[in-house]
Structure 1
Amino acid sequence: MAWIWTIVAIVIAIYLLRELLKIKKKLPPGPKGIPILGHLHLLGKTPHQDLHNLAKKHGPIMYMRWGFVPVVIVSSPEIAELVLKTFDHVFADRPYHEASMYIAYGQRNFIFSKYGSYWRNVRKMCTLQLLSSHKINSMQSMRRREVSLLIACLKRAAVDGGAVDLSAMVSALSAEMSFLMVMGKKYLSEEIGEKGFVAVVREVVHLAAMPNLGDFIPYLGMIDFQGLTRRMKAVAKVFDGFLEKIIEEHVQSKGEKESKDFVDTMLEIMQSGQTDFEFDRRHVKAIMLDMISASMDTSATSIEWIMTELIRHPQAMKKLQKELEEVVGMERMVEESDLEKLKYLDMVVKEGMRLHPAVPLLHHESMEDCQVKGYHIPKGSRVVINLLAVQKDPIAWPEPDKFIPERFAGNSIDLRGRDFELLPFGSGRRSCPGIQLGIIVVRLVVAQLVHCFNWKLPNGMHPNELDMSELFGLATGRAKPLMAVPTYRLHK
């Protein structure tokens, strides 16, 4: 035990020395911290909510310390615009993320990679070749087929008149579409060791989202205080073997497939040798992981919350159904070509994403000292944009906690990061490159679910009794699954 106390004493000494040598500059206001932990003890199971509540007391730009890491919390559209637009070049970096180092091949994935030439090249590749309009449109028939399978499954369930786990069904749909786009195969039944592929992906996502003291107090990371490093290494080894298997399948089937998935495209880029940056199998696997985890969970989470709000607000549900009847009719299902004509659907999706951002905390890092609203932001600070607070700012949004789709009528606020009151996909250099695909999937699935079925809660439950608690993670969904009773309503 003596060595543990020695490490603790060294940590305390380093902390005190840092405090003594710190140059006093005007930092943003914030709560009082404690030695070593700083303000980590103020964060619970839903840190975005905890930070929102702290910002109500300390202001829209707030200074904290998470362990030894200085952290600036942004909680208003005005400050978000300064960070993501005015000083975007300063805050374009990502903080160190230990899980990504082990699971994503030394932080070679797109989401967590450090800002620089590699990241710029990979973003360009993703934007122009993996997530281009042409590529997204080429997969339209796949999306139609998979959504039709979900509707058929729900139609059969509706005959029995019982409740379905809508959360699980939407999650399965999202996973299937993600696998088909990225790897050309569903892989839902594939086993990795003792677990299914989907379960392993979710374990990877869970580990990446877990608060890791090693990210904030490096000395604890060295001794694997929480046991996370051991778990990351184990799951990374298993996952890597399976990704290698997928790549080999693509190599063997080269020239035999009618259409290319994302892996095919990346392998062509890798084998061409024409990139002016390092790009080998490690990078292919890291980006595969990004594409799967990002598309699988965020779209499903958004759909889950939007359907929750529509069930809680029957008048909005009826209004959307009326629009669908007028635009689409009752003799067929919704097509992607219908989506742009569905104005109220657009309002519903925006409002759902405003109230329930799938990824509520956006993590950036300052690459140099900077002044924001007269406050000093030190180089190396973690800058966290709390979308929950930004998108519930009472100045920007009257009655911010209420679900009111009509608030978007007659204005041009959209989801693409140009309006800083609404940033579900982020903004600036680090905005999500899959915005177009994400919006299409969410709109299409919500439209089909509402057009094809009436929905009510089981056992006579009143909408106001529905549990709205959250489960925080890389994507923050419902803590409890959405159970609902469907009734088929189309004429066919």
Structure 2
Amino acid sequence: MVLFTFCATFLCTFVLPLSLFLAAVKLWEIYCISGRDRSCGSPLPPGSMGLPFLGETLQLVLQRYKFLKMKVRKYGHIYKTHLFGSPTVRIMGAENVKQILLGEHKLVSVQWPASVRTILGAGCLSSLHDSEHKQRKRVILKAFSREALENYMPVMGEEIRGGLSRWLENGSCVLVYPEMKRLMFGIATRILLGFEPSQTNPRTQHELIEAFEEMIRNLFSLPIDVPFSGLYRGLKARNVIHAKIEENIRKKVARREGAGQFKDALQLLIEHSEQSDQPLQLQELKESATELLFGGHETTASTATSLVAFLALHPEVVQKVRRELQEQGLLCSDLKENKQMTIEVLEQLKYTGSVIKETLRLRPPVPGGFRVALKTFVINGYQIPKGWNVIYSICDTHDVATNFSNKDEFNPDRFMEGCPEKDACRFSYIPFGGGSRSCVGKEFAKILLKIFTVELVRSCDWQLLNGPPMMKTNPTVYPVDNLPTRFTPFPCKNMTY
């Protein structure tokens, strides 16, 4: 009797729940695979779909780098999974990515996870389609014209020099990543949203940055809006940002910019809305402004932080940058005979540009992009069923590119004239995406990063206090230790290179 009771207890406590769980997992796999288009003869990609309903979202969120590397080792350059509530195919490699990026509106369409769409909103550029996307992009591109970028440059230089001065005054240890985000946030709010310095005093700026970081941390979360969930926290932070942007929009509408006065991206959107047969609602303006703020500061802060790290680890590269600046009359920031910084002058800094390109190759700030299959199609011998999500990986595409020699090595010379790697397949190097969905602010980012590099190397020497950083992604790339660094003044006078 005792043995019977023990066996019954064991079965009910352990065996039955385990059997039910395994059965649920098997039924989940069958359900997910049943999405295969049977009219297509090609198989689904290899891979696993994870736990019932949750899929593999938790593994991705908790173990991002380790999880993704394991998947690539196990399944190769294309595999299936289940993320953020949808069956998903993740791809990498130049030829695979090319098919996705050039298949916009024919094979695929942009579709970010539900949490991203909920927090950023349906009115932002990255969520629009077809004619709406083209029209909005055309308006925003006016804010990134050559003339507009030329007008931005004095503000960029002023903000960057102020930031570097603070770092030099610190004298001991600067946590570069949070300081970089503060610096790039100030630039983005002034240039893209037209915030005046008086609107972003240190306290207000700190509150906005805190809210923005909370929103970004919860962009990719389970789409469950209940108190204390990631989505709930992200929306709450988003509302703080929207309130400040709305205040600025109302001031702009009431003030009316004068003729010939410089106009920021938000002002152009407001004017376009007023002149349109279908004017943008206030909510759509706030969503577009929030997206500009994300693209204009989060990604540049990530790349600029990586620049500081790579240059600190490669002093010979810093010397070559300084030699180029000296040749162009730009080395010493306090010399009156220095050239005025213009786009034409920046275009002459070929090696400095190559340093930025190499940084973006090794550490693209955005790891990839999201699409949804408009119809069933085949890629690399596997079918992508209609309705499935597609993630194309930027970082892994760079990692697996075969046209870059010694690809783990930081070598800006690979992008200089005469190097065969410079003209490699354009889909092997996609830090700004590609096709009709390429980053609308990429020229803005390139100029901002180049000005930052110039000001950094001609005013500072610096040393990483923890050595090479360990990197993490959430959702952009950043150093886990925030990159503690000591900055000292660079004695540029009478230097010869």
TM-score bracket for this pair, using the shorter chain length = 0.7 to 0.9
Contact 1:174 1:296 in 2 (8 A): yes
Tell whether 2:430 aligns with 1:430. Answer: no
Paired with 1:393 and 1:201, the residues of 2 have a C-alpha distance of: 33
Of 114, 124, 137, 1:123 maps to 137
Of 104, 112, 115, 2:120 maps to 104
Distance 1:240 1:406, change over 3 A: closer
Task: Map Cα deviations across residues 180-215 of structure 1 (whole Å, 9 max, x no partner).
Answer: 1123224432767x971222122222221x3x222x
Where does residue 142 of structure 1 map in the other structure? 155
Distance 1:132 1:92, change over 3 A: farther
Structure 2 gap ranges (5+): 1-20
Paired with 2:351 and 2:33, the residues of 1 have a C-alpha distance of: 58
Mapping of residues 435-454 of structure 1, within 5 Å: 435-454=442-461
Of 253, 260, 264, 2:267 maps to 264
Task: Map Cα deviations across residues 357-378 of structure 1 (whole Å, 9 max, x no partner).
Answer: 1011222222221111221101
Distance 1:170 1:190, change over 3 A: closer
Where does residue 250 of structure 1 map in the other structure? 252
Where does residue 315 of structure 2 map in the other structure? 314
Report deviation, 1:115. 2.4
Distance 1:252 1:262, change over 3 A: same
Tell whether 2:83 aligns with 1:81. Answer: no
Contact 1:48 1:386 in 2 (8 A): no
Mapping of residues 339-488 of structure 1, within 5 Å: 339-393=346-400, 395-409=402-416, 410-411=418-419, 419-458=426-465, 466-482=467-483, 483-488=485-490
Report deviation, 1:334. 7.5
| Corresponding letter in the other structure for 1:228 | G
Contact 1:49 1:388 in 2 (8 A): no
| Corresponding letter in the other structure for 1:80 | V
Where does residue 341 of structure 2 map in the other structure? 335
Contact 2:214 2:233 in 1 (8 A): no
Paired with 2:479 and 2:384, the residues of 1 have a C-alpha distance of: 34
Task: Map Cα deviations across residues 104-149 of structure 1 (whole Å, 9 max, x no partner).
Answer: 34x21112x142332222122212x222222222222222322332
Of 204, 208, 219, 1:197 maps to 208
Report deviation, 1:414. 7.0
Paired with 2:106 and 2:425, the residues of 1 have a C-alpha distance of: 16
Distance 1:64 1:225, change over 3 A: farther
Where does residue 236 of structure 2 map in the other structure? 234
Paired with 2:298 and 2:148, the residues of 1 have a C-alpha distance of: 21
Distance 1:358 1:255, change over 3 A: closer
Report deviation, 1:26. 0.6
| Corresponding letter in the other structure for 2:179 | M
| Corresponding letter in the other structure for 2:213 | R
Report deviation, 1:21. 4.5
| Corresponding letter in the other structure for 2:233 | R
Report deviation, 1:434. 0.5
Paired with 1:491 and 1:130, the residues of 2 have a C-alpha distance of: 38
Contact 1:75 1:390 in 2 (8 A): yes
Where does residue 213 of structure 1 map in the other structure? 222
Distance 1:130 1:46, change over 3 A: farther
Length-normalised TM-score, structure 1: 0.83
| Corresponding letter in the other structure for 2:410 | F
| Corresponding letter in the other structure for 2:243 | G
Paired with 2:206 and 2:348, the residues of 1 have a C-alpha distance of: 43
| Corresponding letter in the other structure for 2:83 | W
Contact 2:212 2:238 in 1 (8 A): no
- Give 3-state SS (helix, strand or coil) of 1:392's partner: helix
Mapping of residues 293-304 of structure 1, within 5 Å: 293-304=294-305
| Corresponding letter in the other structure for 1:266 | L
Report deviation, 1:42. 4.2
Task: Map Cα deviations across residues 148-184 of structure 1 (whole Å, 9 max, x no partner).
Answer: 3234444545xxx533333343322211110111232
- Give 3-state SS (helix, strand or coil) of 1:183's partner: coil
Contact 2:208 2:240 in 1 (8 A): no
Tell whether 2:182 aligns with 1:179. Answer: no
Distance 1:96 1:167, change over 3 A: closer
Range with greater deviation from structure 2 (298-307 or 166-175): 166-175
Percent identical across equivalent pairs? 19
| Corresponding letter in the other structure for 1:206 | R
Where does residue 88 of structure 2 map in the other structure? 71
Length-normalised TM-score, structure 2: 0.82
Report deviation, 1:431. 1.0
RMSD across aligned positions (CA): 3.2
Contact 1:52 1:75 in 2 (8 A): no
Contact 1:61 1:73 in 2 (8 A): yes
Where does residue 200 of structure 2 map in the other structure? 188
Distance 1:178 1:431, change over 3 A: same
Where does residue 40 of structure 1 map in the other structure? 57
Paired with 1:479 and 1:333, the residues of 2 have a C-alpha distance of: 38
Structure 1 gap ranges (5+): 1-7, 215-220, 459-464
Paired with 1:351 and 1:314, the residues of 2 have a C-alpha distance of: 15
Task: Map Cα deviations across residues 215-265 of structure 1 (whole Å, 9 max, x no partner).
Answer: xxxxxx3x7497234324433443332222111111222246943222222
Paired with 2:84 and 2:113, the residues of 1 have a C-alpha distance of: 14
Paired with 2:345 and 2:474, the residues of 1 have a C-alpha distance of: 33
- Give 3-state SS (helix, strand or coil) of 1:242's partner: helix
Task: Map Cα deviations across residues 257-305 of structure 1 (whole Å, 9 max, x no partner).
Answer: 9432222222211222x34x45221221111101111111111110110
Structure whose alpha-carbon radius of gyration is higher: 2
| Corresponding letter in the other structure for 2:201 | S
